[in-house]
Each structure stands twice: as C-alpha cells, then as structure tokens.
Amino acid sequence: MAQRILVVEDEDALCTLLEYNLQAAGFEPIIVRDGDEALLHLREDVPALIILDWMLPGTSGIEICRQTRARAETRAVPIIMLTARGEEADRIRGLDTGADDYVTKPFSVSELIARVRANLRRSGAGTEVLQAGDIVMDLETHRVHRGEREIHLGPTEFRLLECLMRRPGRVYSREQLLDIVWGRDVYVEARTVDVHIGRLRKALNGKRDTDPLRTVRATGYAFDETYK
C-alpha cells in the first residue's frame, strides 16, 4: 500500500508538480490548498508525512505544525516545511515548532523526494513496528504481542505504550505523558496517568514478574529495556 503524503500548498503549479512526482515515486499524494482544510484533513486521516508550505490562506503553516505536534495521533508524523528564500527567522521558528526538515523554494523536486524518503526512514514509518525485549507493537494493525501471547490494550494504553517504547529508557513525567498521549488541549488530572499505567501493566504482565514499565519515584515512567 502506497504511503500517503499530505501536501499543503497554495501554488497550483507547485501542487501539480508535487502530485505528479510523488505519484511517480510510488507515494499517494493528497493535495490541500489551504490551512483550514489541512487541519480538517488531519482530523480524519494520519498521513505518513506532511509537506507543509509556510505561507497559506487560512491557518498558517506554523500553526498547523504546532497543532500536529500537540495531538497524540499526529505527533510522530514527519513534517517538511517549504519556505521562501531568505526567511531564515521563519525557518528557525518552524524547526522550533516541531518541523523535522525544511526545503527552501525554489527547490529541485528530486531533492525534495529524497528528503521525503530520508524523513520517512528516520521516523520508522513504512516498517511501523516497535520492538523491545519480548514485546512487539505493530502500529499498522494495532496488535501487541508479548512473546507468543497477544496483548489486548485499550486505545489510551496503546498510545502510552507506543510513546514509551519509541524512546526506551527515557523517563517521561506525568505531565509530558498527558501532553503526548491525551493532547495539550485536554484537561486531565496527573493521577489519570497512574491509572492507565496500572492497566497497561496488568495487561502486559499478567502473572509474570518481569515488568518492562519502570516507575521513577516523584518523576514519572519509562520503558525499561533491561527488564528481562
């Protein structure tokens, strides 16, 4: 199945060029021409990567970038910003806001396609499987296995585990987990995180005494790579 690339760009000639070349490179391009439409689209569908113009009618590129990073579903989607020449300050702001890469207009299409591939590789998209110890998460089919056993997780526990497994060893505070898993715009108490970690533990461990989730006192949680 071709990976979907969302192109948010208001110049018709550039849209045509990108659509043609992305298709030729084996991707499925989705072209939207203004910022509001891009946000609506992202509510319905999570693409493999976003090519995002800076100056757009409707919601700006930087705001789309910010909202994409704030939502759990789209947090990990790589974003390549398109900027006009000389907008150095904008470029830095774009990277600060969470863009992964930027390309200055005018650009060579083959270079942009190469960047698309490089960013997809870096993000692990295309494989969509996380593995640590005896736990395997398939992000495409939403199936989780520990050893031979399939683990059934609720959507929140699934996102929690995904977040922790993407960076094994890294300690996340409850507040960081709330931002990443629940989203910044939602108000949830910090102890809710503990409740869901408890459920995740129960589902993952069953009767085993090896627990891959490490509680860091007064701080938060981490996925412990050395749990076996």
- Interface residue list for Ca ion (CB under 5 A): 10, 53, 55
In angstroms, give the least distance from the CB of 54 to Ca ion: 7
In angstroms, give the least distance from the CB of 11 to Ca ion: 6
In angstroms, give the least distance from the CB of 14 to Ca ion: 8
- Give residue for tokens 């702001």: 93
Exposed e or buried b for every residue in 17-48, given b needs 16+ CB within 10 A? ebbebbeebebebbbbbbbebbbebbeeebbb
- Distance CA(13)–CA(30), nearest Å, equals 15
Of the pair 53, 162, the CB lying nearest Ca ion is at 53
Length of the chain counted residue by residue: 228
| DSSP, res 172 | E
Of the pair 6, 213, the CB lying nearest Ca ion is at 6
In angstroms, give the least distance from the CB of 43 to Ca ion: 22
Of the pair 14, 137, the CB lying nearest Ca ion is at 14
- Give residue for tokens 């939403």: 142
**How many other C-beta atoms lie within 10 A of the C-beta of residue 13?**
8
Report the residue number whose CB is nearest to Ca ion.
Answer: 55
Of the pair 18, 193, the CB lying nearest Ca ion is at 18
Of the pair 82, 161, the CB lying nearest Ca ion is at 82
| DSSP, res 114 | H
In angstroms, give the least distance from the CB of 26 to Ca ion: 26
- Distance CA(58)–CA(10), nearest Å, equals 10
Of the pair 55, 76, the CB lying nearest Ca ion is at 55
In angstroms, give the least distance from the CB of 129 to Ca ion: 36
Q: Phi/psi zone of residue 154: left (φ > 0), alpha (ψ -120 to 50 degrees), beta?
A: beta
Of the pair 9, 101, the CB lying nearest Ca ion is at 9
Mapping DSSP to helix (H, G, I), strand (E, B) and coil, where does residue 145 land?
strand
In angstroms, give the least distance from the CB of 56 to Ca ion: 6
Tell me the CB-side half-sphere exposure of residue 127, using CA atoms within 13 A. Answer: 10
Q: Is 81 exposed, middle or buried (0-12, 13-18, 19+ CB in 10 A)?
A: buried
